[in-house]
Amino acid sequence: MDSETIIAIIISIISLGLSCFFYHRGIRNEEIHRLKDSLFNRVEIFFDKLLSLDFNVELDISEIEQQISNDLSIIKLIDQQLNKRCKLFLLPETYQQNMHCIADKLSSNDAKDIRKKINEEKYTVLEKIEELYTEWFLTKPLSFNFVNTQYMILAKILDSAHLYHFFVLVILLFILFR
């Protein structure tokens, strides 16, 4: 074998490895995004159920607390799945506690005031989920845990698709001018 063939094989192997890496990374990011959307939808449904209650009639608070507990356990489960996948909690404990304390707010007599408080809480929680996800997405490191800043720069370069395109360009140029 001549040196051109060896170089072509090495470049092909590197390109294949990078393709597999980016494919795996894309699948992982898609799963994380799906879980985030699921959490977002569950929280939205949770608050919409509360807003659909008729506050002008006498409410059974214990039944509502049971429903809130059931919904929150599902929301916590999705948040824990996100944590296992990428070490990301989108719903901090304080927000979960606030969501659990909503049943206490339902005892108020003013239906308009209750709806306003629930709506405010809903948009605060949904905004926090989006904020934490966006912050994680923009600052997520490569799959490695880099401590040193010079390695962090390398991680950003490797995490981008530019490196992949560079290798594809090198292969095409090598094939073209061989």
The predicted model gives 27-35 an average pLDDT of 86
Instruction: Confirm if 127 and 92 have CB atoms less than 8 A apart.
Output: no
Mean pLDDT of the chain: 78
Report whether pLDDT(155) > 70.
no
Q: What is the mean pLDDT of residues 14-34?
A: 81
Share of the chain above pLDDT 90, in %: 9
Helix crossing, 162-176 with 3-51: angle to 10°? 150
Closest C-alpha to 118, from 58, 74, 68? 68
CB atoms within 10 A of CB 81: 15
Q: pLDDT tens across 96-148, in order? A: 777 777 767 766 667 778 888 888 888 998 999 999 888 888 777 554 444 44
Q: Please report where in the chains the tokens 């807003």 appear, as a residue.
A: 51
* CA-wise closest residue to 67 among 98, 37, 99, 108: 99
Residue 162 — pLDDT band, cuts 50, 70, 90? low
Express each pLDDT in 51-80 by its tens digit: 887 766 776 777 888 888 888 889 999 988
Segments making up each domain of the chain, as ranges:
3-140
CA distance 57 to 73: 27
**pTM beyond cutoff 0.85:** no
